[in-house]
Amino acid sequence: MFENSQETKTNLSELGEFGLIDHLTKNFAPKLTSTKKAIGDDAAILDFEDNQCIVTTDLLVEGVHFDLAYMPLKHLGYKAVMVNASDVYAMNGKATQITVSIAVSNRFPVEALEELYSGIELAANIYNIDVIGGDTTSSTSGLVISITALGIAKSEDVVYRSGAKPNDFLVVSGDLGAAYMGLQVLEREKQVFKANPNAQPDLDQYTYLIERQLKPEARKDIPPLLKELDVKPTSMIDISDGLSSEVIHLCKNSKTGVNLFEEKIPLDPAVISVCEEFKIDSTTIALSGGEDYELLFTISQEDYDKIKGNPNLTIIGHMTEENEGMHLITRANTKIPLIARGWNSMEKEEEED
Ligand code: ADP
Ligand code: MG
């Protein structure tokens, strides 16, 4: 969705590649002392002193990962930064710099890219991240955005997916399922709009869900919170594909099993009511919905008292010996095998490893 579509439309060719890069990146003055050289040379130069450097990259393709019919470009820019920052936080690190590469067709005017970059700029400012470079090229069809994020952590603080032990508690930040249900609401509105372009949607009751879909916030606060609580997770991952898929990643990488308790899964009341409205099981949504960008981690039992009662964190299960398997314990107290079945890839029986 290109918001100021009524106003001027400047063709990309009017600026040329270098003019466009200068125009889009003019606000990206570095904020961090670790950024020695940002945009404007053949490469950026960073100095992390005695920290470990974390690197992660994500590619977003129009029609595959986003639909511009209901995704405003500013939100898309914001979300593209969040998706990457979330991966840095999942290593228990601090996100510091990003590079942004775009492939764009001339169906996009300069103003559309300005909106995309205003979202990137907003996220970079709020999350204290420097934009240090990128690449710009043309595309014959849609829009492609690739962001690479860099981050830092002390070597003793880095948390991998592989360190969970039997009896560790399984903990999740925030609540789950809202982003997926936000997408369902938006998809429904898109169909309504197609049938009747004059329909005035009343989306007030869905605000939280739509925000979680269009403007997710990565959990920048969790690594410092854990430090403050003096808890080092034994394993950690961010929730991009749905809780069950991420739990399975922790188990496989750590060679453990898990008991995940359905009744403990944190759900916002808005998710519960919209699931009733759509006649979908809210547990299924939390397990398979995805795009929550919460952090999922394990802690040793000794750390229980340190996180108990923290409003940001919920204990949802515990790890077991590998040979006990991976299970969901339902509200009815039956034990069913946990399978990864992302809603976006329902055709796949079980996620390949
Ligand atoms: P090169 O020819 O070496 O690839 P470019 O002309 O593509 O150089 O880029 C010039 C500078 O602008 C570099 O610092 C590059 O990282 C930065 N840059 C290019 N495209 C973008 C973009 N879309 N967003 C942010 N920075 C960019
Ligand atoms: Mg280039």
How much is the pLDDT for 199? 81
- The whole-chain average pLDDT of the chain stands at 93
Q: Which is the closest atom of ligand 1 to the Cα of 102?
A: 23
SS in 3 state form for 56-73?
EEEEEEECCCECCCCCCH
Residue written as token pair 């209901």: 70
CB atoms closer than 10 angstroms to residue 7: 8
Whole-angstrom distance, CA of residue 182 vs CA of residue 177: 9
127 CA distance to ligand 1 middle (Å): 22
138 CA distance to ligand 2 middle (Å): 11
Judged by DSSP in three states, 254 sits in helix
| Cβ-contact 27, 121 below 8 angstroms | yes
pLDDT for 348 beyond 60: no
For residue range 191-241, what is the model confidence (pLDDT) as tens digits? 888 888 888 778 889 999 999 999 999 999 999 999 999 999 999 999 999
Cβ of 134 closer than 6 Å to ligand 1, yes or no, is yes
Q: Which residues surround ligand 2, an ion (CB under 5 A)?
A: 135
pLDDT for 124 beyond 80: yes
Annotated binding site for Mg(2+): 42, 56-58, 87, 135, 238, 241
% of the chain at pLDDT higher than 70: 95
Q: Is the pTM of this model over 0.75?
A: yes
Please return the burial class of 80, using the count of CB atoms within 10 Å of its CB with bins 0-12, 13-18 and 19+: buried
43 CA distance to ligand 1 middle (Å): 9
pLDDT for 346 beyond 60: no
101 CA distance to ligand 2 middle (Å): 9
pLDDT for 351 beyond 80: no
For residue range 134-151, what is the model confidence (pLDDT) as tens digits? 999 999 989 999 999 999
Domains of the chain as residue ranges with CATH: 12-153 (3.30.1330.10), 169-345 (3.90.650.10)
Model confidence at 5, pLDDT cuts 50, 70, 90, reads low
Tokens of 33: 């002392």
Cβ of 146 closer than 6 Å to ligand 1, yes or no, is no
Model confidence at 3, pLDDT cuts 50, 70, 90, reads low
Cβ of 42 closer than 6 Å to ligand 1, yes or no, is yes
CB atoms closer than 10 angstroms to residue 334: 10
